[in-house]
Chain A
Amino acid sequence: MSDRGVGASIARKEDDRFLMGTGEFTPDVQLPGMWHAAFNRAQIAHGRLVSVKAPSGAEGQVFTSADMADIKPIRSTASFPGFKGADFPVLARDKVRYAGEQVAIAVAPTRAEAEDIADSIEVEYEELPAVVDMNDGREPSAALVHDHWADNVCCETQFENGDLEPARAAAVHTIHRRFRMARQTPFPMEGRGTLAHYDSRLDELVVWMSHQLPHPMQRGIAHFLGLEINNVRVICPDVGGGFGLKTHLDGETMAVCWTSLKLGRPIKWIQDRLEHLTCDADCRNHQYTMTAYTDEIGKILGMEVECVVDAGAYSPWPWPIGVEAATGVGNLQGPYTVDALKGRSVTVCTNKPPSQPFRGVARPGACFTDELTMDAIARTVGREPWDVRLDNLVPPAAMPYDTVTRKHLDSGDYPEAFRRCVAAIDPESVRERQKTPEPDGRLIGVGFACFYEQTAYGTGPFGYSAWGIELVPGMEMATVKLTPDGGLWASVGIQCHGQGLETTLAQVAASELGIDPERIAIRHGDTATAYAGTGTYASRSIVVAGGAVAQGCRELKPRLARIGAHLLQCDEADVAVENAEVRGPGGSVTFDEIAEAFYHHPENLPDDTDRGGLTVATGYNDKVHGGVFGFGAHGAVVAVDPDTGQVEILDYAIVDDCGTRVNPLVVKGQVIGGYAQGIGNALYEESDYDENGQPLSVTLADYHVPAAPMVPDIKYDYMESPSPYTTMGIKGVGESGAIGPVGAIGNAVNDALKGLGVEIAETPITPRRVFDAIERGRAR
């Protein structure tokens, strides 16, 4: 069966139900007596709530924060210096702090009727000046988003390692740049959604949620509602994408749970696209000010950086304000041998929706910063950027390597992966092409980006425990059971929303036990079936849940061996457990037969049969707690139209290394999916606001998600550098593809513009931004 285990590109087990239309997403769940919820939302970005008046005839169908006095505000904790938690009210209390913030919930038999009621709720505001830009928010004259604070800065972090003074003193070149990333949204195809109902038989509030973190949501809902964990079950069924958006506990869900308990009927709220684009959590809104010190050939000696993050109005739970900034600064040296780094981060509250980690967390911002800096260095020292990169990349002989930001890079040949990417792009041919003007007048550019991806991190020195947050991921649990007919059932606390984990975790188990993946059921996304877990995020699930499932299989083996040897009438020491059977010197017995004996014919069992039976509940914890590191090199060739500012990707190459690939088809799919999101990040996606904080990108006419013609084919290559620290050498890969494109495309555009002496330093690289840069160049 090993040909279907780890390393095999088998088709996914979950595909059939999606292709037949028989998957079950939260909106698909219908319960008897169910009503729908809609929200009345703030029309202004900042103001005091003077009054909220429900329409007559809607008694018992509209609730406000005054009704929900028994719900605790959603409060996050962290140990960042100066951390201010910015409690997230379930429904606005006293003030609204962003346009679209939920003010009241309305419920009715249909969604349309609920919207009718929500629309006719009369809300009176006393409007206040809005803090829209993070830099403005730091000014002493800025309005206060939270009245009881002295200013809008909600968190500052400092980091220093290595001695920067010698770097400054020895520097031949000092490169100084400021980079900005626009706000955008993760935009899963399925928005949020919550259906809550009270199961009186079990005295349990059952909450169906489109979410990535079932167990943390169970804890949060119970805690903020004042219930015992035993009285809350969270089910995350099929989930139509998450990308980090669906990792926090939203106020709407709390209001739905409360209302369901209050009315004693199932209440369903399905976030629509207008809500998603208007007021769901955003991401990526960072500003980096970088100073790099280099020698005469561009070897980086040290870096100083300030990272400012626009947090929006509230701190999400459980990942609080500050995580983005800490991650941004904590990865700024990228995969390079930088000896000294001094970093500072400032997180600022504004009158915009809360900010939430999105695929890559802050690493795309860090990559944009360090990779565009790298090319700026190359231009300054007069060398090609690929040569400068090779001089700075961590060499394989240095592995494992501790970066200046204390990331323990575990394995990989970064320069070789990069060389392969360079070879795929062939930048020398681009240099040749650039010597002759293009017939259509466009400007050609080539750019690269290198990055590592920190995956499956937990309690490490620069991870969740150091940040002092409430839920620190560590041990990941799995329950593994041989079923009475010889199949395998495994339950895990992660949640699969497109990553193919129902298949890849089955492949891990198949490799351990030799059972065909078709006979292995992976159960996830339900607090009633999984013992514990923190869900799926941060490129962790295949490493930690894979490790836990493998561990469960390994602990099952001696139990199987003992029963098998007894059935074979041979010595336990003489049997092997593989290929779904126990094989002894004189024959073998299948798992089916062992299960049959265990469950239904105990008279055939040895007296010393393990009392744990054929079920193992066990866990996995990394040998290192700061994660294991994948690596990627991206290369892009672009054409820039100087008359329209449009950028076309002509060629794109990716070389990726995520250690042992459990299913190469799935790995490649993750990388390409990330690449497409990276293109959106680099070129198209922006959640824009006017000077009053009104959102301007609330439909797909204004918010541009990459469509198929905007995502060209790629040249794809991979390397496999197993991690020395994980089961089977697996590393995570979920975020990798999304990190590189901003750097590679940004550099390619700047390469195209270099004749004009201008650089782009802000995403997305829209036609207008390109045109403005060209105008600046022509005016020089």
Chain B
Amino acid sequence: MTSTTISVNGRTVTADVEPRLSLADFLREHEGLTGTHTACEHGVCGACTIMLDDRPARSCITLAVAAHGAEVRTVEGYDGDETMATIRESFKKAHAVQCGYCTPGMLATAYDIVTRLPDADRDRIRLELAGNLCRCTGYIGIVDAIEMTLAEIRGGS
């Protein structure tokens, strides 16, 4: 067992864990934050994407012990965040959700696109989404939602 201390959605957690425990399983099983989903566990599909020190990261191939000292933000950690509220509203309007399994990872990547690439066009949005697989929506609704969010943010600022 190895001790790890992680800030999870603003709350500091210290736990003794097996070194092999992934950050995703730590969040899901130790912290009960089951909004973070795993779907490929080899870093390709993006379902487990969370924010690690304010940048998107794969929690399935990040060890909980290696996240020692980091700040983690999961889908459950956006209370009061206006940007995420706008993204979520756009996802609803654009029908960017079907089964919902890829959605938390998709939101993390959408948040990254919206905050890092305010001028992204549809091609760029698609490229940035390449690391988040969705099997239901065909992505068009998701691209619409992110484009809609960017337009709204541009319009509001």
> Footprint of B on A, CB under 8 Å?
11-12, 14-25, 27-28, 30, 112, 187-191, 238-241, 243, 272-274, 497-500, 665-666, 668-669, 672-677, 699-701, 705, 707-709, 711, 713-714, 737
Contact = CB atoms under 8 A, between A and B. Distances in A.
B99 A497 contact: yes
A15 B92 contact: yes
Contacts of B98: 241, 498-500, 669, 673
A271 B133 CA distance: 18
Interface string B53-68: 0000000000000000
Given A19-B103, A30-B29, A241-B99, A11 B139 contact: no
Contacts of B141: 669, 672
Interface residues of B, number: 56
Given A273-B39, A708-B139, A11 B93 contact: yes
Q: Lowest 4 A-B CB distances belong to which pairs?
A: A21-B35, A240-B101, A18-B100, A498-B99
A185 to B, nearest CB: 11
A21 B76 contact: yes
A699 B42 CA distance: 8
Nearest to A675: B138
B91 interface: yes
B136 A273 contact: no
A20 B39 contact: no
Nearest to B123: A709
Contacts of A243: 135
A677 B131 CA distance: 17
A19 B140 contact: no
B34 A708 contact: no
16 contacts: A20-B75, A21-B104, A28-B34, A189-B133, A190-B37, A238-B100, A238-B101, A273-B42, A498-B136, A673-B135, A676-B137, A676-B138, A676-B139, A707-B132, A708-B139, A709-B129
A12 B129 contact: no
Report which residue of A30, A499, A676 has the largest number of chain B beta carbons within 10 angstroms of its beta carbon: A676
A189 B99 contact: yes
Nearest to A241: B99
Interface in B25-53: 28-29, 32-42, 44-45, 47
B93 A709 contact: no
Given A273-B40, A714-B140, A19 B130 contact: no
Interface string B96-110: 011111111001000
A708 B137 CA distance: 10
A190 B28 contact: no
Contacts of B29: 30
B138 A188 contact: no
Given A30-B29, A189-B47, A498-B99, A11 B92 contact: yes
Contact of A24 (B33, B34, B47, B131): B34
Contacts of B137: 669, 672-673, 676
Nearest to A242: B99
B101 A190 contact: yes
Contacts of B130: 707-709
Given A18-B100, A188-B101, A190-B101, 19 more contacts: A11-B93, A12-B92, A20-B35, A21-B36, A27-B38, A190-B37, A191-B39, A238-B99, A240-B100, A240-B102, A241-B99, A241-B135, A669-B136, A669-B137, A669-B138, A699-B42, A700-B45, A708-B132, A711-B139
B79 to A, nearest CB: 10
Contacts of A187: 135
B42 A672 contact: no
